[in-house]
Amino acid sequence: MVKPMHTTHEIAYDGAIDADGHVIEPPDLWERYIDPEYRDRALRIVTDENGLEELEIDGERSTMSRNGFPSTLGAMGEPDLRSMQLDSTRRSGCSGRPS
């Protein structure tokens, strides 16, 4: 069942900044910028046996962020996160859109 999308509205002032804006880092940020001695332990977004994204932390698969969850990051306002999560072609990224 698709959850209805919430109502949104435009900010009434020119130049206003949404202080609750969501920023999604590039998926390889941690591997690229962490000090070399910690690189093997860096947070990674990896693909599971079903082609879905999940997090790997210190070389271990996350128990809380599996089954495509990372691909929903940045999908604020999308009405059907579950179908996005199970879409093996969707990838996380700094724009939150499939790459």
Residue 57 included in any domain: yes
Do strands 60-61 and 44-47 pair parallel, antiparallel, or not at all (unpaired)? unpaired
**Close Cβ partners of 10 (under 8 Å, ≥ 6 residues apart):** none
CA angle 17, 22, 28 (to 5 degrees): 130
Q: DSSP assignment, residue 71?
A: G
Residue 4 included in any domain: no
Residue 99 has pLDDT above 50, yes or no: no
Residue 15 included in any domain: no
pLDDT at 8: 67
Using alpha carbons, list the distances in angstroms from residue 75 to 12, 23, 35, 92, 96. 24, 11, 30, 9, 6
Range of the domain at 43: 29-85
Instruction: Give 2-23 pLDDT, tens digit per residue.
Output: 666 666 667 777 776 666 666 6
Residue 96 has pLDDT above 50, yes or no: no
Residue 11 included in any domain: no
Residue 35 has pLDDT above 90, yes or no: yes
Residue 23 included in any domain: no
Residue 7 included in any domain: no
Question: How far is 99 from 96, CA to CA, in rounded Å?
Answer: 9
Mean pLDDT in the chain? 75
User: Number of structural domains, the chain?
Assistant: 1
Residue 12 included in any domain: no
